[in-house]
Amino acid sequence: MRRQKISQLLSSGTAGQAITICGWVRSRRESKNFAFVVLNDGSCQDTMQCVVDAGTAAFDMLAKCQTGAAIRVEGVLKESQGKGQKWEVQALAIEVFGEADPETYPLQKKGHTLEFLRDIAHLRPRTNTFGAVFRMRSALAWHVHDFFQRRGFRWVHTPIITSSDCEGAGEMFTVTSMDLAKVKAGPGGAVDFSQDFFKKHAHLTVSGQLEGEFMAMGLGDIYTFGPTFRAENSNTTRHLSEFWMIEPEMAFATLQDDMALAEDFLKHLFAAAVRDCRPELEFLEKQYQTIKIDDLARLSETKFAHVTYTDAVAELKKAPVKFEFPVEWGIDLQSEHERYLTDVIFKGPVIVTDYPKKIKAFYMKQNPDGKTVAAMDVLAPRIGEIIGGSQREDRLDVLEARMREMNLPVEEMGWYLDLRRYGSCPHAGFGLGFERLVQYVSGMGNIRDVIPCPRAPGLISH
């Protein structure tokens, strides 16, 4: 079935051209002499209005062209007399593939709440909002690859099932093939994973970083872009249990290089969204008023602010507001603190560096002060942390001592220490939650609205 996409016709159609389009009916208006059927085919934000004259075979099909029905229209492209669109289709023939019973089809009217649509995640891609979000998600994913590939970073595929459980990045899901009704207890009553498929306790990955590091130690600059799982019980608007993470890792690089990469990367993506997703952004800007295209464009050209954790804490302590969680040097910044930094103090994205080592992962490079590590988080207005990264500890003795101090399984992690034992070098990287990025750029308030099938505590409906 040859069809033309509405996006194609709108950008390069010519008057009088014979066309075939397929799509889902958004609305139908009938009068005695003619009818309008408005179609969307998912190729773009815009719809195509089809004019159906009374007395034609196409007119006889109208009863079956309910809102939501899938149809094919053959006709002729012509310049529209109406306001708001340049082109319309004079329909000559209509074929109905699948009707949509108006009594039961849930997307009868416009203006459903996002909560309502979340319950029908399988139908929401047909709405303006989710069409916009998912087209933008695709474009951003493409630009993630484009950014790294152009700079000579190699895309590496790190494992989804892993046995290392010391990333410290979050609670993990267990992967098992054991019959849970017959699980045998090992010594001390704990589950005996030596009976399991892998003969040890396996998990879904919480980060590809550690494996990314060993790939970078041979390929130089790499990035991962894959599914990531966290079983933390956080029912927030910025956490998912299954999300996609992008983790570049650079050999021969310091924290400075890492921050420069993070900033270039985000700006590249903001600029790409403004350039390639304008109709989507215009729709979202108007509909929800949480983003401004001009702000995104400006951000893609403005230098990010930088502040050390120690200075950020001093600023927060001076702030004339009462935080729910009091600020003290050594605390992990809560989202209220992050938001105060981005929205009130710096009025834009800010990179916070040199966090206390106590609140950061074991692999981060210790600073000479003995108290902080060469870490950086990029905080963005509205959503807080969007990127977390660091220079990695490349000194074997310092890393091993830190692991022992934190009771991590040094023997099992021999492979990770090997990277410091043989050809160790300064290296750095970061992790960006892809959905946080899409959320930030699209302005969607809830991260569950930027992934087709959101997973969160108690939520796995599709």
**Contact positions vs Mg ion (CB under 5 A):** 388
CB of 231 to ligand ATP, least distance (A): 9
Near ligand ATP by CB under 6 A, which window of 105-113, 128-136, 150-158, 385-393? 385-393
Structure tokens at 122: 């399988």
Q: Which residues pair with 127 in a beta bridge?
A: none
Adjacent-strand bridge partners of 372: 356
Which residues lie across from 21 on neighbouring strands?
73
CA–CA dist 226, 228 (Å, integer) = 6
Nearer residue to ligand ATP within complex by CB, 68 or 433: 433
Query: What residues numbered 145-204 form the site for ligand ATP, per CB under 6 A?
Result: 169-170
Q: Nearer Cβ to ligand ATP, position 147 or 283?
A: 147
* Segment (H or E) for 34: strand 34-40
For residue 358, the Cα-to-chain-centroid distance in whole angstroms is 29
CB of 247 to Mg ion, least distance (A): 12
Residue pair 73/21 in contact (Cβ under 8 Å)? The answer is yes
Which of 296, 291, 331, 284 is CA-nearest to residue 312? 331
Pick one of ligand ATP, Mg ion, none as the site partner of residue 431 (Cβ within 5 to 8 A by kind).
ligand ATP
Interface with ligand ATP, residue 385, by CB under 6 A:
yes
Between CA 74 and CA 83, with CA 80 as vertex, the angle to 5 degrees is: 135
Q: State the minimum distance, in angstroms, from the CB of residue 319 to ligand ATP.
A: 20
DSSP string, 358-395: GGS-TTBPBPTTSSBBSEEEEEETTTEEEEEEEEBP--
Give min distance, CB of 437 to ligand ATP, in A: 8
Q: Where does residue 155 rank: exposed (0-12), middle (13-18), buried (19+ CB within 10 A)?
A: middle
User: By CB under 6 A, is residue 245 in contact with ligand ATP?
Assistant: yes
Stretch that binds ligand ATP, among 43-51, 128-136, 235-243, 309-317 (CB under 6 A): 235-243
In the complex with ligand ATP, which residue's Cβ is closer, 75 or 431?
431
User: In the window 409-438, what residues touch ligand ATP (CB under 6 A)?
Assistant: 431-433, 435-436
Phi and psi, residue 9, nearest 5°? -65, -40
**Partner whose binding site includes residue 248, from Mg ion, ligand ATP, none (CB under 5 to 8 Å by kind):** none
Are 383 and 438 within 8 A, CB to CB? no
| Site residues (CB under 6 A) for ligand ATP, limited to 316-375 | none
Q: Is 386 in the site for ligand ATP (CB under 6 A)?
A: yes
Closest distance between ligand ATP and the C-beta of residue 144, in Å? 13
Nearer CB in complex with Mg ion: 262/273: 262
Burial 397-415 (b: 16+ CB within 10 A, else e): eebbebbeeeebeeeebee
Q: How many residues bind ligand ATP (CB under 6 A)?
A: 16
Tell me how far apart the alpha carbons of residues 337 and 326 are, in angstroms, rounded to a whole number.
9
- Our CB check for Mg ion shows the closer of 349 and 388 to be 388
Q: How far is the CB of 361 from Mg ion (least distance, A)?
A: 9
> If you ran DSSP here, which 8-state letter would residue 298 be given?
H
Smallest separation (angstroms) from ligand ATP to the CB of 142: 19
Q: What minimum distance in Å lies between the beta carbon of 387 and ligand ATP?
A: 5
Contacts of 402 (CB under 8 A, 6+ apart): 357, 362, 366, 393
Whose Cβ is closer to ligand ATP: residue 170's or residue 220's? 170
CB of 222 to Mg ion, least distance (A): 20
Question: Which of the stretches 84-92, 131-139, 310-318, 386-394 binds ligand ATP when contact is defined by CB under 6 A?
Answer: 386-394
Residues that bind ligand ATP (CB under 6 A): 169-170, 230, 239-240, 243, 245, 385-388, 431-433, 435-436
